[in-house]
Amino acid sequence: MSNDTSNAKATPATSLLAQLQPRAGGWGAQWRGCALGSAFQPVLSITHQRVVGYEALLRVTDATGHAVAPPDLFASADGAEAQQLDELARCLHLANFVEQGIDTGWIFLNTLPRSARAADPAQAAIDGLCRHFDFPHERVVIEVLEQRGGDEHSSFVDERPSAGGRDFLVALDDFGAGFSNFDRVWRYRPDIVKLDRSLVTRAASGENHVAFIAELISILHHAGTMVLAEGVETEAQLMVLMQADVDLVQGFWFGEPQASVREAGAAAPALAQSMWQRFAQYQRSTEIIEQINFGALSHTMLVGARVLTGGGTLEAAAAAIFGDGGSHAQRVFAADEHGEQHAPSIAAPGVGPPARLAPFYPDTDSNWSRREYFRRALAAPGRVAVMGPHYSLNDGELCYTAAIALDFGGATHVLCADFPPEHGPRERPSRQQNGRRA
């Protein structure tokens, strides 16, 4: 990059470029006595098994050579100064990225949300930088950082334009942490939503969290966005995220941020090539557990089904289900072919309806026809369908529900039982299973 901007027409971009200082292997800048530099971390596509971009991260050292956390530096600046620092950092990152001759993939550039009352030179600055470096707009991902309050605004991303109207991508950072929420997704209509590392950590810490992260990713996909999980540090976290259908990942497991883009991503290609083999092994191990647990639930439901088809009552079928060794069933109920429940559900001994759900009781005249387990069971009579985990309207807790459609008493009925998550199948969340035939 030429350091001579004296003959250039004054623009936001040339003003920023004039503040850059050449360093070994790249560029740096100064801000309030602190030295600014760039580091890059690879972003991988699970589906494409390769690095598809790099997030540019600010590195700051004070006059004594000690590292300063970028948020602390931004916190020390007022609104206008913070915006200037924000723009300088993007200019510095793009200069260092281009200097290293990286000719494929995206560069993720962080940006502060802009106050609705502030001037907005940011779009012009990005345009000017792309023109100066001859860098394609479509390789730029503007990553909007989280900000507290309702004054958040950015003319970059107020709404998704019609096809072809926006030539760069937009990502929302830190989703699921702090003040970040779905309102930002509706307002900005991003191309990518980045899950906060706290969600990634929790996802691998328990089965209920696995189900939650899978549903969250599904909702974001339906909102029309890709999902990127940041902070992936362990293989266990990666496996859970792959099972939950995340699109993009980044984190120390693939490579730590470094000033050299190539060095930062050096280990990533081999890991990307191996992750599907690791995932296949992970799925095999979870399927073995799933089959064992699903077999137990199927056996329990078939015990109750035989009571009903043999002329027994629902109470007798429930007693058989509760008495089946290791079943741990919490509640048994039945519905007709239209999903209507006419008889009260039967709780296991010692299990009673929580007082906070008293308005739901008595639970007769309920209709369960919208539930996936009911529809799947009715579609395959005689086979056990298991769905979950989901929120139980009977007990106010997460549960799995097993269901089987049977013909007795001259009509079709669906026998259902709720099981606590720790005794449900260890499986991909919300996936239906069909078991043995009655």
Tracing tokens 């060794």 back to the chain, one arrives at 325
The bridge status of strand 398-408 relative to strand 383-391 is: antiparallel
CATH class of 12-266: alpha beta
Rg (CA), the chain: 28
| Burial of 295: CB neighbours in 10 Å, binned 0-12, 13-18, 19+ | middle
27: which strand partners? 22
Please tell me the distance from the alpha carbon of residue 150 to that of residue 159, in angstroms, as a whole number: 16
Sheet strands side by side (includes 346-347): 346-347, 331-336, 411-419, 398-408, 383-391, 433-437
206 φ, ψ (degrees, to nearest 5): 180, 155
Q: What is the mean pLDDT of residues 132-144?
A: 93
Q: What would the DSSP string read from start to end of 286-329? A: HHHHHHHHHHHHHHHHHHHHHHHHTT--HHHHHHHHHHSTT---
Residue 274: predicted pLDDT: 93
Tracing tokens 């008293």 back to the chain, one arrives at 358
pLDDT tens, residue by residue, 212-249:
888 899 999 999 999 999 999 999 999 999 999 999 99
Q: Does residue 124 have a pLDDT over 90?
A: no
HSE of 205, CA atoms in CB hemisphere, 13 A: 6
Tracing tokens 């097993």 back to the chain, one arrives at 402
Mean pLDDT of the chain: 84
Q: What would the DSSP string read from start to end of 342-396? A: -SPPEEPTT----GGGGGG-S-TTEE-TTSHHHHHHHHSTTEEEEEEEEE-TTTS
Determine contact, residues 110/173, Cβ cutoff 8 Å.
yes
Tracing tokens 């070994």 back to the chain, one arrives at 24
**Which of 122, 105, 223 is closest to 172 using CA atoms?**
223
* Residue bearing the bigger pLDDT, 5 or 363: 363
* Residue bearing the bigger pLDDT, 422 or 74: 74
**Which of 144, 78, 73 is closest to 110 using CA atoms?**
144
HSE of 414, CA atoms in CB hemisphere, 13 A: 29
Counting residues of the chain whose pLDDT is more than 90, the rounded percentage is 55
Please tell me the distance from the alpha carbon of residue 133 to that of residue 110, in angstroms, as a whole number: 18
Q: What is the mean pLDDT of residues 101-118?
A: 77
Residue 113: predicted pLDDT: 72
Global pTM reads 0.77
Determine contact, residues 286/239, Cβ cutoff 8 Å.
no
If phi > 0 it is left, if psi is from -120 to 50 it is alpha, else beta; for residue 20 that is beta
Q: What is the mean pLDDT of residues 138-164?
A: 61
pLDDT tens, residue by residue, 296-352:
888 899 999 999 999 999 999 999 999 986 568 999 999 999 999 999 999 999 888
**Which of 43, 4, 26, 38 is closest to 101 using CA atoms?**
26
**Which of 289, 233, 259, 300 is closest to 436 using CA atoms?**
300
Please tell me the distance from the alpha carbon of residue 180 to that of residue 147, in angstroms, as a whole number: 8
Q: What is the mean pLDDT of residues 88-105?
A: 95
Residues 6+ apart with CB under 8 A from 111: 86, 90, 122, 142, 143, 144, 145, 154, 156
**Domain range annotation of the chain:** 12-266, 289-437
pLDDT tens, residue by residue, 351-382:
888 889 999 999 999 999 999 999 999 999 99
CATH number corresponding to 289-437: 3.30.450.20
For residue 11, the one-letter residue type is T
How many angstroms separate the Cα of 190 from the Cα of each of 97, 278, 367?
23, 31, 38
Indicate the pLDDT class of residue 180, thresholds 50, 70 and 90. low
